[in-house]
Structure 1
Amino acid sequence: MSNNIKLSIEILPVELFHYILDNLDIETIIFSVRHVCRLFRSFVNSYSRYILNLTSISKSNLYLLCRLINPHNIISLTLSNEERTSNQIDLFISLVRLRQFTRLHSITLIDINEYQLNFILKRINLKLLTSFSFNIKRYDDRRIKTTNSFLTSIISQSNFRKMEFNLTTDRLWKTSWPFNCSIEYLIVNEDITMDNLIKILQCSPHLYKIILKQKFSKIINNISQISTLPICFRQLTSLTIEKLDMNTDALESFLLLTPSLVYLKLIGGQHMFDGKRWEQFIEINLPKLEKFEFYFDYWDPVKKTLTDLELIIASFRTPFWIEHKKWFVTCACDIKRSTIVYLYSMPICKSFLTYEIELQKNSLSTYSNIIDNHQFIQNDVNYLSLILSKALADYIQDKEATTNQLLFPKVTKVSIEFYEEWPLLSLQSLSIFINISQIVHMTLRSYYFSEYNQNVFIGIRNFIEQAQNLSSLIIQTGLYRYKLNLAIDNIHSIIPNHVKHLGIPINTIEQIQMILDRCNQLTTIKFDVRLTKFSEEIIKWFTDNTIDSTCSKGYKMVCVWIGTKKTQSTEISVDHKRMKFC
């Protein structure tokens, strides 16, 4: 390579720079990259693949983004009226001209009111949409025909591929689903009947993937009729049922309609522990199945022993499971304290996991070479719940010397519950489970904060400070006024100054300003309050001391999407003339 070749950012092709921007969020692009230099500014200005997700944005940044970004360059838009960003959709509509969003391929609308849905869909180009996700928070029966017309128009487009929705059963039934619909991927959050599901499948020859998030019992109706239906949906190759609450017979009747499944995932609380029955059904009715993931937890009134667990796991130790499919299974039960039996494929297919030590002690697996079951669960869990009990402390002390890798390396959300006897060891010891520096969301929960000394809170604060990427912190106490008074200063002392979203108890109005001064990057704050009158005082404080804050009141809480702080004018009037201090 010639020494004369000059490696410089100035010769970087704009296409390569835009590819880099594809991997950054929009706030980083606009508020950081854009200000590096003139060249970067020009690259950013010519970028045309913005993904605008406003679910956790500050109000001030929302105003700036709406002013700085050309709507023609946005290809994906996510708006939310959720608790954090109450009434965001109306605000966004007031700040932009929706007709200028001419290149939108994907839209996600969370907790939207039906009139807002109609307003938006009327003003954008539906023909370009490939993905549409929405859930309606408030329906308006006067708009039924209009909503149905828009939905029919969207799903009738030849390039439409993915849809996620929660829509009442009667609304869904009235929606005209076109024949030969091009949709490939469907996520249903609630309120779909078997009749509606069959109608969609019959009209969608390319629909290969479905995720059902509602209770399965609400989908299945007239199960005896389903088993005799002369229909079969061979286009479906991937199926996920996240709330399985029907027996094996009902599930099998449903699965008979989907003989081409390659992937099947089941999560639920039913007794489906017969490995031999699963083996026979799959061999006969699901011959193409390559990946089978499940997580079953079943309450049995009869107390279990390790012998009982061995009988369950034995049916999953056949050549079909271990040699042919290589599907490995674990059966576990907290024999001392519970009769709930857990049966799950490995790695665990749930993103959220409550880590229970007794389950680890009383578990059996079909994989004989397992040294530590964590090698199967570590990569799929991104939200971990830990209960800081003596059993956990003993386990950590036993494992610290022998564990040389993280047990859950992909966790970004953690919930930690403190028991009365804590501290039993340093919170730094939790680093055998998680990479603390990559935690984005943290929940701390305890009924005993009022009983801890200051050293405990110093340890908690030091632990939180290691979470350099933490953006959301929720502290839950459950304490009533007297005990909360004893602990409130210590609780507030652990709040890091870089957090953007905060959930915190308070008991005086003066604490609001103290928290805002401490956390100057706060976007939203949720106050845990016990009295309705105090809720009104909090709302009044933000009305009096901030501009354009949005407050929403719920059960024992007030959530605030923070606007800008009011500042005292530096101008005074002298002899009817203005004098400004520099």
Structure 2
Amino acid sequence: MSNNIKLSIEILPVELFHYILDNLDIETIIFSVRHVCRLFRSFVNSYSRYILNLTSISKSNLYLLCRLINPHNIISLTLSNEERTSNQIDLFISLVRLRQFTRLHSITLIDINENQLNFILKRINLKLLTSFSFNIKRYDDRRIKTTNSFLTSIISQSNFRKMEFNLTTDRLWKTSWPLNCSIEYLIVNEDITMDNLIKILQCSPHLYKIILKQKFSKIINNISQISTLPICFRQLTSLTIEKLDMNTDALESFLLLTPSLVYLKLIGGQHMFDGKRWEQFIEINLPKLEKFEFYFDYWDPVKKTLTDLELIIASFRTPFWIEHKKWFVTCACDIKRSTIVYLYSMPICKSFLTYEIELQKNSLSTYSNIIDNHQFIQNDVNYLSLILSKALADYIQDKEATTNQLLFPKVTKVSIEFYEEWPLLSLQSLSIFINISQIVHMTLRSYYFSEYNQNVFIGIRSFIEQAQNLSSLIIQTGLYRYKLNLAIDNIHSIIPNHVKHLGIPINTIEQIQMILDRCNQLTTIKFDVRLTKFSEEIIKWFTDNTIDSTCSKGYKMVCVWIGTKKTQSTEISVDHKRMKFC
């Protein structure tokens, strides 16, 4: 290497540095990178592609970000009134000048009230929006016309591409959908009828991708009549139906409207196990289909045998499935305990999976070279549920010596349920399923915490400490007062000090301070409580001992978005006069 080349960060082009910032979250940029040196500070100050996602932010950091970031440099904004950040949207609009957000390309508004929605949309520049996502938690019928006017304005923009919403059917029908709308990608969470869907498709010649998350039966109305009409939406090439609850006839009638599909994904609880029927329908009506993913689970009152599973899987072993399309299928059933039959394409197309050992023991696949099917289910699953039974323990002990790769390497969320007889083996053995160090969200659930000795809790804590990136921990017991008293200290002993979001049972007010002292990075905390009176005492404690905490009370729980302790400096929560909203 030439001595003339300066190996210095000072010669790094600002464009390259900004590209690096594109891959970091806003809190890391502002609270870490910005403070490294003057050069980094100047790079950060000139950065103009901030993605401001406030769904899990602490209150103190929210105040700081609103003071430190120039709104002109924010291109994406996500606000949430969800349980753990209750009333966040009102707080945000009180801290900023919304009219200064002149370069927003994407907006996501979660659990927003309709008056808040109107307030925000009135004050920001809608012309640059390419993506808009919202779900209204509380409607206000006095604002119907105003809301419809804003929505029409957004979807009429020539550069608008993506929309996700849950809007009541009558509201959606009253929204004026412009002809030649430029939208390409639509996600519907609930309340869309077939009439509304057809109207949108007829007005959107570029709409190639749709994800339907509501029950399919609520969409379909008079589908047999519709399928006879001269309607065909050839622009649609990608379709996902996540809650398929109609029979094969109704589904086929709907799919006749979409002959250009290249990708089809179906998740549901219907009997759609006839591979030959699928083959014939696809060859005739979906000739361009390249990828077909599905996950069906169907309850059958008749108990199944392996012979029954073989009859089902046989129809998916034709040359069409194996050689031409290379679509491989697994059929499984817990023959001893259940009559639910599972039929799914590989790899599994669901992001959430409950891992059941008996299903693995009683499964048949169309791919003869698979030893245990796991190489097909590992990549798409990011949320895994494990039930720590003796069957699972035996399976792990059998596989530990022979398994040399993770079964679910992409999992970042895990739910673990302990049975009474646990521990049957070390929790470290779960590392054959997941990379513990990359777990971000963990739920621990057991009705038997009061029966475990201290060594069990030491093992649980050791397991949790390996989850270095864990930010959210939920502990659920279902225990009533007496048994909870026996286990509460041990339960609290497993809480890691770096967790930011915590769900935990408590039975005395004094435990609140102990938990806050232990977990000094807590942003939100959800208390599992059994008595209404105790809920009020918790809220009063935060009112008396903190500044600006937001408490919301629900069924047997109190959720707190934690403000500032009264004993700490309160400089963060003052002096933001220049950010008054207009």
TM-score by length of 2: 0.98
Distance 1:468 1:225, change over 3 A: same
Deviations 1:72-98 (A, max 9, x none): 000000000000100000000000000
Q: Is the 8 A contact 1:381 1:411 kept in 2?
A: yes
CA distance in 1, matches of 2:48, 2:196: 38
Runs of 4+ that moved beyond 2 A = 568-582
Q: Is the 8 A contact 2:181 2:206 kept in 1?
A: yes
Deviations 1:226-271 (A, max 9, x none): 2212100000000000000000000000000000000000000000
CA distance in 1, matches of 2:515, 2:575: 40
CA distance in 1, matches of 2:74, 2:129: 13
Q: Is the 8 A contact 1:571 1:580 kept in 2?
A: no
CA distance in 2, matches of 1:200, 1:573: 45
Equivalent residue, structure 1, for 2:313: 313
CA distance in 2, matches of 1:182, 1:282: 29
CA distance in 2, matches of 1:233, 1:577: 53
Deviations 1:466-500 (A, max 9, x none): 00000000000000000000000000000000000
Distance 1:278 1:580, change over 3 A: closer
Deviations 1:347-404 (A, max 9, x none): 0000000000000000000001111200000011000000000000000000000000
Q: How far is the alpha carbon of 1:123 from its aligned partner?
A: 0.3
Aligned length: 582
Equivalent residue, structure 1, for 2:124: 124
CA distance in 2, matches of 1:148, 1:573: 36
Percent identity for Structure 1 against Structure 2: 99
- More displaced 10-residue stretch of structure 1: 53-62 or 2-11: 2-11
Q: Is the 8 A contact 2:97 2:581 kept in 1?
A: no
Q: Is the 8 A contact 2:107 2:132 kept in 1?
A: yes
Q: How far is the alpha carbon of 1:322 from its aligned partner?
A: 0.2
SS in 2 for 1:188: strand
Q: Is the 8 A contact 1:571 1:579 kept in 2?
A: no
Distance 1:286 1:573, change over 3 A: closer
Distance 1:232 1:544, change over 3 A: same
CA distance in 2, matches of 1:482, 1:160: 58
Q: Is the 8 A contact 2:106 2:132 kept in 1?
A: yes
Equivalent residue, structure 1, for 2:248: 248
Q: Is the 8 A contact 2:96 2:580 kept in 1?
A: no
Q: How far is the alpha carbon of 1:572 from its aligned partner?
A: 23
Distance 1:579 1:109, change over 3 A: closer
Distance 1:434 1:570, change over 3 A: closer
Q: Is the 8 A contact 1:571 1:581 kept in 2?
A: no
Deviations 1:299-333 (A, max 9, x none): 00000000000000000000000000000000000
Distance 1:211 1:581, change over 3 A: closer
Distance 1:581 1:511, change over 3 A: farther
Q: Is the 8 A contact 1:572 1:580 kept in 2?
A: no
Q: Is the 8 A contact 1:74 1:104 kept in 2?
A: yes
Distance 1:291 1:466, change over 3 A: same
Equivalent residue, structure 2, for 1:513: 513
Deviations 1:323-344 (A, max 9, x none): 0000000000000000000000
Q: Is the 8 A contact 2:132 2:162 kept in 1?
A: yes
Q: Is the 8 A contact 1:545 1:566 kept in 2?
A: yes
Distance 1:569 1:79, change over 3 A: closer
Distance 1:278 1:569, change over 3 A: closer
Distance 1:468 1:568, change over 3 A: closer
Deviations 1:415-447 (A, max 9, x none): 000000000000000000000000000000000
Q: How far is the alpha carbon of 1:3 from its aligned partner?
A: 2.2
SS in 1 for 2:2: coil
Q: Is the 8 A contact 1:570 1:580 kept in 2?
A: no
Q: Is the 8 A contact 2:50 2:73 kept in 1?
A: yes
CA distance in 2, matches of 1:154, 1:581: 23
Deviations 1:126-177 (A, max 9, x none): 0000000000000000000000000000000000000000000000000000
- More displaced 10-residue stretch of structure 1: 249-258 or 224-233: 224-233
CA distance in 1, matches of 2:343, 2:298: 9
Q: Is the 8 A contact 1:571 1:578 kept in 2?
A: no
Unaligned runs of 5+ in 1: none
SS in 2 for 1:293: strand
Unaligned runs of 5+ in 2: none
Q: How far is the alpha carbon of 1:577 from its aligned partner?
A: 30
CA distance in 1, matches of 2:95, 2:409: 41
Q: Is the 8 A contact 2:64 2:572 kept in 1?
A: no
Distance 1:572 1:414, change over 3 A: closer
Q: Is the 8 A contact 1:135 1:166 kept in 2?
A: yes
Deviations 1:35-79 (A, max 9, x none): 000000000000000000000000000000000000000000000
CA distance in 2, matches of 1:164, 1:35: 37
CA distance in 1, matches of 2:579, 2:349: 67
Q: Is the 8 A contact 1:60 1:563 kept in 2?
A: yes
Q: Is the 8 A contact 1:411 1:439 kept in 2?
A: yes
Q: How far is the alpha carbon of 1:567 from its aligned partner?
A: 1.2
CA distance in 2, matches of 1:570, 1:255: 59
- More displaced 10-residue stretch of structure 1: 6-15 or 560-569: 560-569
Q: Is the 8 A contact 2:155 2:178 kept in 1?
A: yes
Q: How far is the alpha carbon of 1:573 from its aligned partner?
A: 25
Q: How far is the alpha carbon of 1:223 from its aligned partner?
A: 1.8
CA distance in 2, matches of 1:289, 1:577: 57
CA distance in 2, matches of 1:144, 1:89: 20
- More displaced 10-residue stretch of structure 1: 224-233 or 10-19: 224-233
Q: Is the 8 A contact 2:63 2:572 kept in 1?
A: no
Q: Is the 8 A contact 1:477 1:505 kept in 2?
A: yes
CA distance in 2, matches of 1:579, 1:94: 8
Distance 1:337 1:572, change over 3 A: closer
SS in 2 for 1:490: helix
CA distance in 1, matches of 2:571, 2:220: 69
Q: How far is the alpha carbon of 1:533 from its aligned partner?
A: 0.2
Q: Is the 8 A contact 2:67 2:579 kept in 1?
A: no
Q: Is the 8 A contact 1:264 1:292 kept in 2?
A: yes
Equivalent residue, structure 1, for 2:547: 547
CA distance in 2, matches of 1:416, 1:491: 15
Q: How far is the alpha carbon of 1:120 from its aligned partner?
A: 0.2
Q: How far is the alpha carbon of 1:224 from its aligned partner?
A: 1.6
Q: Is the 8 A contact 1:211 1:240 kept in 2?
A: yes
Q: How far is the alpha carbon of 1:198 from its aligned partner?
A: 0.1
TM-score by length of 1: 0.98
Distance 1:101 1:304, change over 3 A: same
CA distance in 1, matches of 2:572, 2:555: 44
CA distance in 2, matches of 1:580, 1:262: 50
CA distance in 1, matches of 2:294, 2:440: 27
Distance 1:145 1:570, change over 3 A: closer
Q: Is the 8 A contact 2:60 2:573 kept in 1?
A: no
Distance 1:545 1:259, change over 3 A: same
